[in-house]
Amino acid sequence: MSRKLHLALHPYGVGGPGQHGLWKDPRVAKDASIDIGYYLRQAEAAEHALFDALFIVDSQFINATYPPHYLNRLEPLTLLSAVAVRTRHLGLVGTASSTYNSPFNLARRFASLDHISGGRAGWNVVTSFDTGTARNYGLDEHLDYTTRYGRALESVEVIRGLWDSYEDDAFPADPERGLFLDPDKLHALEHRGEHFKVAGPLNLSRSPQGQPVIFQAGVSEEGRDLAARVAEGIYAPGGSLAQAQEYYADIKRRTAAHGRDPEHIKIFINGGPVVAATDEAARLREREIFEEDNDLERSLALLGRSFGAYDFTGHDLDAPFPDIAHLAEKGGRTAAGKIIERARTENLTLRQVVTSASEFRRSPFVGAPATVAETIEKWFAAGTFDGINLAFRTFEELDLFVDGVVPLLQERGLFRTEYEADTLRGNLGLPVPENRHTAARRAAQG
């Protein structure tokens, strides 16, 4: 097979959404989410297994009902800067909100990580659906959906412009001529847009990969269109094989419609493989994991996140699902809309909605190593993803996948046996973007 599978690792410390009981596991350190040693060990294991990237999620609002990992965790770029100096090939993808960060600061921070790592940085662009974040930034209300996505698009455009402030040969550093900088190769941005005014230039040169890689997770119409316009990597929702195929085909089609090469956008689905010696043992462990995390109170709180951290505890669990559609616009609109539609169509109570949202769902990537490898190959060949964003509850489960499944993927010709490059772009098979000012000069010269 000419296409090659990409693998990323998503560590979640003491447990994120859906892993409510993970912190109780005796194999998990209770301070894992703030222990840099935990992340370094994860990163080194991922690099040993030739994974493409380490992916760090983030949010900036909590209350006491939030998942344990969310309550006490490290800031992504600080964390990844530490990981950068202990790894050589692994991509480093951090999450940062375009709603609650200025483009100049984001441009500088990610460009710095790109230099520290030698060209391995990636930015996961999010618009933030936790409405409470607004109050941490001096705002009374969260921005509406349309404004958040318009701001995200403009933010990416501004940041890419800032990353092109210096052309690649801007620094001759020639003592004989007394010329450190060629001033003709430095360009101010002078951006004036709907959401931002940014003069520039950025005080940092381009890295070996030109610019950090842009990642995004688009589910709604606005999200999918933003991803197709600007993303080079996408974190997709997954679901059934048919749902994953639909999403994959839709994003590739939209990408082409925007004049981009569909091969220059890599789609990752979320995957939490459960690997054991036999299929039966793996399925048993999968069910055990569900029972460890099956907590009505936590599931109720998790449901509230789609509605801007709404507190459902004041409602009768056995009464009809409350009319809170107005909260979806400034929260997780797509997920919230589906919940509301199903509750209305099937006349569900709040308890039924919570139970349904958290019911046991079998993962396709569960079984003995050969079974998991075979399923990954089937899905990959069917056009459902370019890569998998993997999450494991413990180091032991990560090791089972690395030692048992990865060699089988390599034998099948699906996964690399050595890194292709030292940069994230190189390993993902993405082109280095030419500096826009260099390209304009070349075009003007005919």
Whether the pLDDT of residue 215 is over 90: the answer is yes
Alpha carbon distance 179, 175 (integer Å) = 6
**Is 195 found in the same domain as 127?**
yes
Q: What is the DSSP pairing of strand 197-198 with strand 191-192?
A: antiparallel
CATH number of 147's domain: 3.20.20.30
Whether the pLDDT of residue 203 is over 60: the answer is yes
Asked if 160 and 169 count as a contact pair (C-beta separation under 8 A), the reply is no
Report pLDDT digits (tens) over 290-322.
888 888 888 888 888 778 778 888 898 998 888
**Is 366 found in the same domain as 349?**
no
Report pLDDT digits (tens) over 98-120.
999 999 999 999 999 999 999 99
**Is 434 found in the same domain as 313?**
no
Question: Is 349 contained in some domain?
Answer: yes
Q: What are the angstrom distances between the C-alpha of 283 and each of 287, 368, 388, 399, 430?
A: 6, 9, 20, 18, 37
**Is 314 found in the same domain as 182?**
no
**Is 104 found in the same domain as 134?**
yes
Kindly indicate the confidence band of residue 246, based on its pLDDT and cuts at 50, 70 and 90: very high
Q: Which of 357, 375, 393 is the last residue of a domain?
A: 357
Q: Give the mean model confidence (pLDDT) for residues 400-407.
A: 97
pLDDT for residue 332: 64
Question: Is 286 contained in some domain?
Answer: no
pLDDT for residue 279: 97
pLDDT for residue 328: 67
**Tally of domains within the chain:** 2
Question: Is 63 contained in some domain?
Answer: yes
**Residues whose CB falls within 8 Å of the CB of residue 388, separated by 6 or more in sequence, listed in order:** 5, 6, 7, 8, 268, 269, 270, 271, 365, 376
**Residues whose CB falls within 8 Å of the CB of residue 238, separated by 6 or more in sequence, listed in order:** 244, 269, 270, 271
**Is 302 found in the same domain as 247?**
no
Asked if 83 and 122 count as a contact pair (C-beta separation under 8 A), the reply is no
**Is 235 found in the same domain as 274?**
yes
pTM: 0.92
Question: Is 1 contained in some domain?
Answer: no
**Is 322 found in the same domain as 235?**
no
Q: Give the mean model confidence (pLDDT) for residues 212-216.
A: 97
pLDDT for residue 396: 95
Indicate the average pLDDT of the chain: 93
Q: Which of 311, 336, 357 is the last residue of a domain?
A: 357
Whether the pLDDT of residue 148 is over 80: the answer is yes
Question: Is 366 contained in some domain?
Answer: yes
Domain that holds residue 329: 295-357
Question: Is 303 contained in some domain?
Answer: yes
Kindly indicate the confidence band of residue 330, based on its pLDDT and cuts at 50, 70 and 90: low
pLDDT for residue 220: 82
Kindly indicate the confidence band of residue 1, based on its pLDDT and cuts at 50, 70 and 90: low
Q: Give the mean model confidence (pLDDT) for residues 133-154.
A: 88
Q: Which of 357, 383, 410 is the last residue of a domain?
A: 357
The 10 Å Cβ neighbour count of residue 312 is 18
Q: Give the mean model confidence (pLDDT) for residues 45-49.
A: 97
Report pLDDT digits (tens) over 157-168.
999 999 999 999
Question: Is 425 contained in some domain?
Answer: yes
Alpha carbon distance 59, 75 (integer Å) = 9
Report pLDDT digits (tens) over 335-394.
788 888 888 888 889 888 888 877 788 899 999 999 999 999 999 999 999 999 999 999
Kindly indicate the confidence band of residue 221, based on its pLDDT and cuts at 50, 70 and 90: confident
The 10 Å Cβ neighbour count of residue 105 is 11
